[in-house]
Chain A
Amino acid sequence: MLNIENLHVRVEEKEVLKGLNLHIKAGEIHAIMGPNGSGKSTLSKVIAGHPEYTVTSGSITYDVNFRPKNVLEMQPDERARNGLFLAFQYPVEIPGIPNVEFLRAAFNAVCKHQGVDPMETKAFDAFVREKAKMLEIDSSFLDRELNVDLSGGEKKRNEILQMAVLNPRLALLDETDSGLDVDSLRIVSEGVNKLKTEDNAIVMITHYHRILNYIKPDFVHVLADGRIVRSGDVSLALEIEDRGYDWLLN
Chain B
Amino acid sequence: MSTAFETAFQDLASEPQWNPAWLRDLRQRSYDRFIETGLPSRRDESWKYTSTRSLGEASFGLSKNASISRIVVERLSVKDAHRLVFINGVYNEEFSILPSDVSVVALSEAMKTERDLILPLLGENEDILAVLNQAFFSSGVMLRVKKNTKVQKPLQFLFLQSQEAAATGAIISPRNIVFVESGAEVHIVESHFGQTQHFTNAVTDVFVKDQAYCQYLLERSIGPETRYVSKHSFHIGRDARVETFNLALGGKLNRSHLEFRLTAPGGSAKLDGLYIARGDNHIDNVTEVLHLAPNTSSTQLYKGVLEDKSRAVFNGKITIVKDAQHVDAQQLNKNLLMSPDAEVDSRPQLAIDANDVKCSHGASIGQIDEQELFYLQSRAISREDAKAMLASAFVGDVVGRISGKHFTKHVQDVLQSFGSART
| Residue contact A80 to B389, C-beta cutoff 8 Å | no
On whether the beta carbons of A92 and B371 are closer than 8 Å, the reply is: yes
Tell which of A44-52, A200-208, A215-223 binds the partner: A44-52
Q: Contact between A80 and B378 (Cβ–Cβ < 8 Å)?
A: yes
> Chain A interface: which of B33-41, B124-132, B156-164, B390-398?
B390-398
CB-CB nearest in chain B for A95: B393
Contacts of A102 in B (CB 8 A): 376, 379, 389
Task: List residues of chain B with CB within 8 A of the CB of A162.
Answer: 379
Please measure, in the bound complex, the distance between the C-alpha atom of A2 and the C-alpha atom of B393, giving whole angstroms: 35
Q: In the bound complex, how far is the Cα of B374 from the Cα of A86, in angstroms?
A: 11
Q: Are B380 and A96 in contact (CB under 8 A)?
A: no
Query: Roughly how many angstroms separate A230 CA and B394 CA in the complex, as a whole number?
Result: 47
Does A113 lie within 8 Å of B380, measured CB to CB?
yes
Which residues of A in the span 107-160 have a Cβ within 8 Å of any Cβ on B? 109-110, 113
Chain A residues positioned under 8 Å from B383 (CB to CB): 75, 77
Q: How many residues of A contact B (CB 8 A)?
A: 27
Query: Residues of B contacting A211 with CB < 8 Å?
Result: none
Cα distance, A95 to B392, chains bound together (Å): 11
Q: A76-B374, A92-B375 are in contact. Are A105 and B393 (CB under 8 A)?
A: no
A109 to B383: give the CA distance in the assembly, Å.
12
Considering residues A75, A94, A97, which has the most beta carbons from chain B within 10 angstroms of its beta carbon?
A94
- Partner of A77 from B371, B386, B396, B397 at Cβ < 8 Å: B386
Docked Cα-Cα span, A166 to B381, in Å, equals: 12
A81 within 8 A of B: yes
- The reply on B377 being an interface residue by CB < 8 A is yes
CB distance from B415 to the nearest CB of A (A): 14
Q: Counting CB contacts under 8 A, is A245 at the interface?
A: no
B109 in contact (CB, < 8 A): no
Closest to A81 in B: B380
Asked whether B57 is an interface residue with its Cβ less than 8 Å from the other chain, the reply is no
Given contacts A51-B370, A76-B374, A102-B376, contact A96 B394 (CB under 8 A): yes
Which residue from chain B places its CB closest to the CB of A168 in the assembled complex? B380
> B372 an interface residue at 8 Å Cβ cutoff?
yes
Number of interface residues of B (CB under 8 A): 22
CA–CA, A238 and B376, complex, Å: 36
How far apart are the CA atoms of A91 and B372 in the complex, in Å?
9
**Chain B neighbourhood of A105, CB < 8 A:** 376, 379, 381, 385, 389
A109-B382 contact given A76-B377, A80-B377, A94-B390, CB 8 Å threshold:
yes
Q: Answer yes or no: A212 CB below 8 A from chain B CBs.
A: no
A22 at the interface (CB under 8 A from B): no
Chain A residues closer than 8 Å to B379, beta-carbon distance: 77, 80, 102, 105-106, 109, 162, 166
Answer whether residue A88 sits at the interface, using C-beta atoms and an 8 A cutoff: yes
Q: Kindly list chain B residues whose C-beta atoms are within 8 Å of the C-beta of A85.
A: 378
Nearest neighbor of B395 in chain A, beta-carbon distance? A96
CB <8 Å contact, A76 and B389: no
User: Min CB distance, B375 to chain A, in Å?
Assistant: 4
Complex Cα gap A185–B392 (Å): 35
Looking at the complex, which one of A50, A92, A94, A109 makes contact with B380 (CB distance below 8 Å)? A109
- Nearest CB on B from A145, distance (A): 8
Q: Beta-carbon contacts of B393-408 to A below 8 Å, as 1s and 0s? A: 1101100000000000
**Within the assembled complex, what's the spacing in Å between the Cα atoms of A91 and B378?**
11
Interface residues of A in 7-57 (CB under 8 A from B): 48-51
Closest to B397 in A: A96
Known A-B contacts A96-B392, A96-B394; the reply to A109 vs B372 at CB < 8 A is: no
Residue of B nearest to A77 (CB): B377
What is the bound-complex CA distance between A106 and B370, given in angstroms? 18
CB pair B389 A77 closer than 8 Å: no
CB proximity of B408 to chain A, nearest CB, Å: 15
Q: Are A94 and B375 in contact (CB under 8 A)?
A: yes
A48 with B396: CB separation less than 8 A: no
List the A residue with the shortest CB-CB distance to B400: A96
B381–A91 touching, CB < 8 Å: no
Question: Bound state CA distance, A102 and B388, in angstroms?
Answer: 12
Q: List residues of A (82-104) whose CB comes within 8 Å of B's CBs.
A: 85-86, 88, 91-92, 94-97, 102
- For the complex, what is the distance from the CA of A110 to the CA of B390, rounded to whole Å? 19
Chain A CB within 10 A, most for which of B371, B382, B385, B397: B382
Query: Are the CB atoms of A75 and B377 closer together than 8 Å?
Result: yes
Do A92 and B372 touch across chains, with their CB atoms under 8 A apart? Answer: yes
In the bound complex, CA of A166 to CA of B378 (Å): 11
- A92-B375, A94-B372 are known contacts. Are A77 and B381 too (CB-CB below 8 A)? yes
Task: Please name all residues of chain B whose beta carbon is closer than 8 Å to the beta carbon of A96 when the two chains form the complex.
Answer: 392-394, 396-397
Q: Which residues of B contact A109 (CB under 8 A)?
A: 379-382, 385
A and B contact pairs by CB, cutoff 8 A, 22 listed: A48-B378, A49-B377, A50-B374, A75-B383, A76-B374, A76-B378, A80-B378, A81-B380, A86-B378, A88-B375, A95-B393, A96-B393, A96-B394, A96-B396, A96-B397, A97-B390, A97-B393, A102-B379, A102-B389, A109-B381, A110-B380, A166-B379
Chain B residues engaging chain A, CB cutoff 8 angstroms? 370-372, 374-383, 385-386, 389-390, 392-394, 396-397
Q: Name A residues whose Cβ lies closer than 8 Å to a Cβ of B.
A: 48-51, 75-77, 79-81, 85-86, 88, 91-92, 94-97, 102, 105-106, 109-110, 113, 162, 166
Beyond A94-B393, A109-B382, 17 additional contacts (C-beta under 8 Å) are A48-B378, A50-B374, A51-B374, A75-B383, A76-B374, A77-B381, A77-B382, A77-B386, A80-B378, A80-B379, A92-B371, A94-B372, A105-B385, A106-B381, A109-B379, A109-B380, A109-B381
